[in-house]
Structure 1
Amino acid sequence: MNASRTGRRGADDGGVTGAGRGRAATKASPRSETRADSSSLTGTQGLTNARTRLVGQRTGPVADAIVVAVKVLRAVRRGSTALWRGASSVVTPLGWTVLLLVPIGLAGGRLLGWVELLTIGLAALVMIALAALFLIGRTAVDIDLVVPHERVSVGEPASGEVRVANPSRRRVLGVTVEIPVGDALVEVGLPGLRSGDAVAESFPVPTGRRGVVRIGPARTVRGDAVGLVRRELEWATVTELFVHPATIGIPSTSTGLIRDLEGSPTRDLAPDDLSFHALREYQPGDERRNIHWKSTAKAGAYMVRQFDASRRSHLVIALSLATSDFATDEEFELAVSAAGSLGARAIRDAREVSVVVSERTPDFAKRKTLAVRALSTITRNRLLDDLAVVERAESALVITDVARVARDRVAGISVAFLVVGSTTSLAEMRGAALQFPLGVEVVAIVCDPEAVPGLRRVADLTVLTIGYLDDLQKSLSRVAAS
């Protein structure tokens, strides 16, 4: 009896205890989920930054010390890098050598007892200290770089001007201005300037070779007399001076072998145009408005007007840049000048003109690049600007390939000028001329300073040989007259 009561009480207590534990567990589960959520929100799990790469998810004094040490090392490295850049920008190689003598002389003289070595170290220290005094302060001047002309022809004199003004209230000692001019360096020494003073100094610009001469930026230089330190400060921007190839004036009557509407008509006949040629009998298909009624009344049959075809000429000037087409640089310069003279005259006459040069094949290409580069013909200066920078290349297309590509690229060609050197054979020039359609007048201009000027015709090709640029005008006049 007692045992059964005890069992039921135990069972009841166990049930109550189990239910209480269940309720306790049930009540505790929301808090545990909250703690888990909060730890996942504030922990470093899944985060990748500099700290996690160093210490991971560890916390504590050791991890904090490692992070602080890395921060200090980074700051020291940034400061030392900035210090090294600043020092290397002002200390010359000679200055570094003298600076190296300071610890060697002082330490070596002290340890070895060499008075001479100790004296060298002290002298080097004094030289470095005195040189550092020249870096104190700033150059309170305004510098402007002026180039009067943007374009000149090769051989023409050209100059630039550097202007220095002192807008400050104190006197400025002598200033040295360095100006890069192409591959050279022009150094201009200017006297001291009082407050409000200004001075200008001109310098020559070499124009012996065509191209683009970069002038500037002008920079002031401060340093000691020995050359241990050097402080540079740039002021003006870079200015470009175009040195154009030499050109010659060509008469308007010599630029086109097929005349435009303002010139002579062609030999071709047309049923309707501006230049009257003759009368002929009416044929089926002729325009009735072309019937000449007075002649029809006299002849007793319909007579129509016949005209000479006059069309606007489209000139193509093809310049080869292949090294194999020219024997010397002098030939190539003459060819560039001839192409520029032809193009400039055509642009001045408002003719339709295209100037093309060879395109280069990349060094590691598997096959030849059949392409040409069209130069700007909007204005004379734009054309000469492009011609100022053309250069020969071994991988550039030869004249035959240039003519073939120009034929496909330029429509309505009436006259083609092929500008080559003395190494281009007659067979190659004829092959280039055959690339153009029938009816296109092809003129090959051979630039050979050692040859006698001449004119000859080979089938449908006219070959002009010039030794000087002045020969181009006379030769073209002969071609037009013939």
Structure 2
Amino acid sequence: MTTSTTEKRSRSRGGAPSAPTLRGTPTSRGTGQPRPGTPTRVRDLLLTRPARAAGSLLGPLTARISAGARRILAPVTDVVSPLGWFLLAVVVVLGTLGLAFGWDEARIAAVLGILLLALSVAFILGRSAYAVELDLARTRVAVGDRAIGGVTVSNASDRTLLPASLELPVGSATALFHLPRLRPDQQHEDLFSIPTQRRAVIVVGPVRSVRQDPLGLLRRQMTWTDPTDLYVHPQTTPLVGSAAGFIKDLEGLPTKELSSADVSFHALRDYVPGDDRRHIHWKTTARTNTLMVRQFEETRRSHLAVALSTNTAEYDGEPGFELAVSVASSIGLQAIREQRNLSVLTQAGPLRSDTGRNLLDSATRIEGRVLRATAVDLARTTADAVPNASVVFLIVGASVTPSQLRSSAASIPPGIRCLAVRCIDGAQASRASIGDLTVLTLGNLGDLALVLRKAAA
């Protein structure tokens, strides 16, 4: 057998022979003809494809095995508490040391730990047959209102159930109820109240029964109800009249564009074929002996746009931001009561404002954060999103400067009335003007109707 030149050079240097190479020509695309110059390792040719195939099969297979193992071990891992896992680790360590070094004390301590775990199992065995009902009197309340609910538990089995504990998660907290001994078909009811000092969406539930040993080594839970969302809406104040007078014309604001059919009468003109005969002015026609028709000015239906800045860097603290949310909600609710078109926007996008309930639900979920987008950017977005608005409210914080307010007002198209409401907690209600922009300073939600009446004067 002949030895290649590469093998001879390797052996002469005292090293192991290198992998044999095939010097040939890789085929060109579409021609099938080899092209000289590129060596290809035999090992790569023999092992690359099987290794890739095995890897592609082992990945999903490993994932399925781990998922199946988690499902099988979940009943055990969910029952053992952190204290139980700690005791189990201590038992393993002490047992190993006792067997390795012949320490009787370590072996005795390990046996005692095993006995404690075995006794704990007896406390969580058994089945419970409860019929549990979670009832919230109201799922939507305002900040400061009482949110009351009740948990009704009945024994749905034909045997007496021993005392147990019920847990009710309420947001980040957990309420604990103690169930007495229940005979068959016996009911037990517990009432609870939820504090509503802050605007939030609080997840109430699910109600779960708990069985655990006195030491808390093992803990078994069973869920009996579904969670319920409790909406704590922002505080609002009623605005009397036509949204406290900031729009006086119920039929809309007239424009300079003429129309053949509208509400605001403009003038008379000669009849043109195709005009609606209902608009012929017969008295003038009889007097001039010429058909005359009414001509109207196009009116713009009142469309209210509320732009609420959620950039917390523009506010003097959380009270000022919450005041701004309440102001935007109050103005929006008044517009909905008067059946006006409404659009409410923030830096995060528009809010649902088709009904008062949807508006308050959306306002409850508003989260303030430090953003790059300022009140000026929000005003530009509002002008692009609601070009047919008749009135625009800019709800901003104390840190917005007069120059920023001037830039915001310049972003609103001419002909649209623009008002800015600066929300400063505890400030004196006042009214000022920056060019054509009316600036209202508000420190208390109860003064909102007053400052809006001043703005309409």
Partner of residue 418, structure 2: 442
- Structure 2 unaligned segments of length 5 or more: list them: 1-48, 55-64
Partner SS, residue 177 of structure 1: strand
The answer as to whether partners of 2:244 and 2:449 remain within 8 angstroms in 1 is no
How do 1:67-106 and structure 2 match up within 5 A? Answer: 84-102=73-91, 104-105=93-94
Partner of residue 409, structure 2: 433
Partner of residue 303, structure 2: 314
Q: Tell me, yes or no, if structure 1 residue 401 matches structure 2 residue 377.
A: yes
Equivalent of residue 415 in structure 1, options 386, 391, 415: 391
Q: How far is 1:436 from its partner?
A: 1.5
How do 1:158-307 and structure 2 match up within 5 A? Answer: 158-255=147-244, 257-261=246-250, 274=263, 289=280, 293=284
The answer as to whether partners of 1:323 and 1:396 remain within 8 angstroms in 2 is no
Partner of residue 125, structure 1: 114
Equivalent of residue 354 in structure 1, options 343, 350, 368: 343
Q: Tell me, yes or no, if structure 1 residue 377 matches structure 2 residue 353.
A: yes
Partner SS, residue 393 of structure 1: coil
- Counterpart of 2:191, as a letter, is S
Partner SS, residue 252 of structure 1: coil
Equivalent of residue 135 in structure 2, options 146, 155, 171: 146
Partner SS, residue 170 of structure 1: coil
Partner SS, residue 432 of structure 2: strand
Query: Cα distance 1:427–1:82, how it changes in 2: closer, same or farther (>3 A)?
Result: closer
- Counterpart of 1:128, as a letter, is L
The answer as to whether partners of 2:310 and 2:369 remain within 8 angstroms in 1 is yes
TM-score (norm 1): 0.71
Equivalent of residue 476 in structure 1, options 442, 452, 457: 452
Partner deviation per Cα, 1:324-383 (whole Å, 9 max, x = no partner): 321211111000000000000000110111111113xxxxxxxxxxxxx11111110100
Q: How far is 1:464 from its partner?
A: 0.5
Q: How far is 1:322 from its partner?
A: 1.6
Structure exhibiting the larger radius of gyration computed from Cα positions: 1
Q: How far is 1:416 from its partner?
A: 0.6
Q: Tell me, yes or no, if structure 1 residue 460 matches structure 2 residue 427.
A: no
Partner SS, residue 145 of structure 2: coil
Query: Cα distance 1:268–1:476, how it changes in 2: closer, same or farther (>3 A)?
Result: farther
- Counterpart of 1:469, as a letter, is L
Q: How far is 1:115 from its partner?
A: 5.5
Partner SS, residue 138 of structure 2: coil
**How many residues were matched structurally?**
390
- Counterpart of 2:203, as a letter, is R
Q: How far is 1:228 from its partner?
A: 1.0
The answer as to whether partners of 1:255 and 1:342 remain within 8 angstroms in 2 is no
Query: Cα distance 1:237–1:464, how it changes in 2: closer, same or farther (>3 A)?
Result: same
- Counterpart of 1:393, as a letter, is R
Q: 1 CA distance for matches of 2:68 and 2:248?
A: 75
Q: How far is 1:124 from its partner?
A: 2.1
Query: Cα distance 1:354–1:101, how it changes in 2: closer, same or farther (>3 A)?
Result: closer
Structure with higher strand content: 2
Q: How far is 1:411 from its partner?
A: 3.1
Q: How far is 1:269 from its partner?
A: 11
Q: Tell me, yes or no, if structure 1 residue 386 matches structure 2 residue 375.
A: no
Query: Cα distance 1:440–1:196, how it changes in 2: closer, same or farther (>3 A)?
Result: same
Q: 1 CA distance for matches of 2:228 and 2:135?
A: 8
Q: 1 CA distance for matches of 2:131 and 2:438?
A: 60
Partner deviation per Cα, 1:422-471 (whole Å, 9 max, x = no partner): 10011111111111121211100000114211011222111100100011
Q: 1 CA distance for matches of 2:143 and 2:202?
A: 12
Q: CA RMSD in A?
A: 3.6
Q: Tell me, yes or no, if structure 1 residue 336 matches structure 2 residue 325.
A: yes
Q: 2 CA distance for matches of 1:461 and 1:80?
A: 66
Q: 2 CA distance for matches of 1:342 and 1:237?
A: 35
Q: 2 CA distance for matches of 1:338 and 1:78?
A: 50
Q: 1 CA distance for matches of 2:189 and 2:118?
A: 34
Q: 1 CA distance for matches of 2:412 and 2:68?
A: 69
- Counterpart of 2:167, as a letter, is E
TM-score (norm 2): 0.75
- Counterpart of 1:323, as a letter, is T
- Counterpart of 1:332, as a letter, is F
The answer as to whether partners of 2:148 and 2:191 remain within 8 angstroms in 1 is yes
Partner SS, residue 78 of structure 2: helix
Partner deviation per Cα, 1:235-270 (whole Å, 9 max, x = no partner): 21111111111000001323563334469x769898
Query: Cα distance 1:439–1:110, how it changes in 2: closer, same or farther (>3 A)?
Result: closer
The answer as to whether partners of 1:320 and 1:397 remain within 8 angstroms in 2 is no
- Counterpart of 2:158, as a letter, is R
Equivalent of residue 325 in structure 1, options 301, 305, 314: 314
The answer as to whether partners of 2:269 and 2:295 remain within 8 angstroms in 1 is no
- Structure 1 unaligned segments of length 5 or more: list them: 1-47, 54-75, 298-302, 360-372
Q: 2 CA distance for matches of 1:78 and 1:158?
A: 41
Q: How far is 1:210 from its partner?
A: 0.8
